[in-house]
Amino acid sequence: MKLILTAALCALASSLALAQDAPKKPVKATPTPTSSRMQLKSAAKNVAAGIEAAEAALTPGEMAIAERVQVGPVPCELGTTVTLLADAKYPGYFNVHVKNLKYRMFPVETSTGAIRLEDKKAGAVWLQLGNKSMLMNQKLGQRLADECMSPQQVAMAQTLKTQPAQSMFDAPAKPAVADVPAK
């Protein structure tokens, strides 16, 4: 055992002596990525691209809703203006701006037929009805803009003043039945 240790120490001492005699070069420690690390990074990029593509893809129903969204500046109460712009890169998506806030929204199908755009990350919701629109922050529980009306919505509001819509609680009008003589 002593013989092996002595031989190992002699070999170590001779390699140290050679290393001290050799000219010194600056050594840069550049980590070389391992194959598994490169594969992991590539897989992560592919997953991120897949998530982005899935996020960008809308259903035909959502695309139909997106076609009905009124874009442009929409004046609201208290002098606030909400601006809706269609995203040219991703059809069906909208960039919504109010004051210093910006949201990236997409359509969500509703049971009532109202147009609803959402930014799930920020918790913002844009509701567009026939006669008005509103912008809400669900996370904060606040309305950011209310009584927003585009020119089409102003016209609808005027029409509703003169011709109110039938209440959903009212019974539908029964059609007049012609008297048929009995045999």
| Rounded average pLDDT over 149-154 | 90
**113-143 confidence digits (pLDDT tens):** 899 999 999 999 999 998 899 999 998 889 9
| Mean pLDDT taken over the chain | 79
**pTM higher than the cut 0.85:** no
Residue 178 is classified by DSSP as P
Please give the average per-residue pLDDT across 81-108, as a whole number. Answer: 93
DSSP string computed for 14-66: HHHHHHHHSPP------PPPPHHHHHHHHHHHHHHHHHHHHHH---HHHHHHH
Helix (H, G, I), strand (E, B) or coil at 151: helix
Q: 92 Cβ partners below 8 Å, 6+ apart? A: 58, 62, 63, 66, 106, 107
Whether the predicted pLDDT of 48 surpasses 50: yes
- Between the alpha carbon of residue 172 and those of residues 96, 100, 167, 168, the distances in Å are 39, 47, 9, 9
Domains, the chain, with CATH or none: 60-162 (2.40.128.50)
Distance CA 8, CA 21 (A): 20
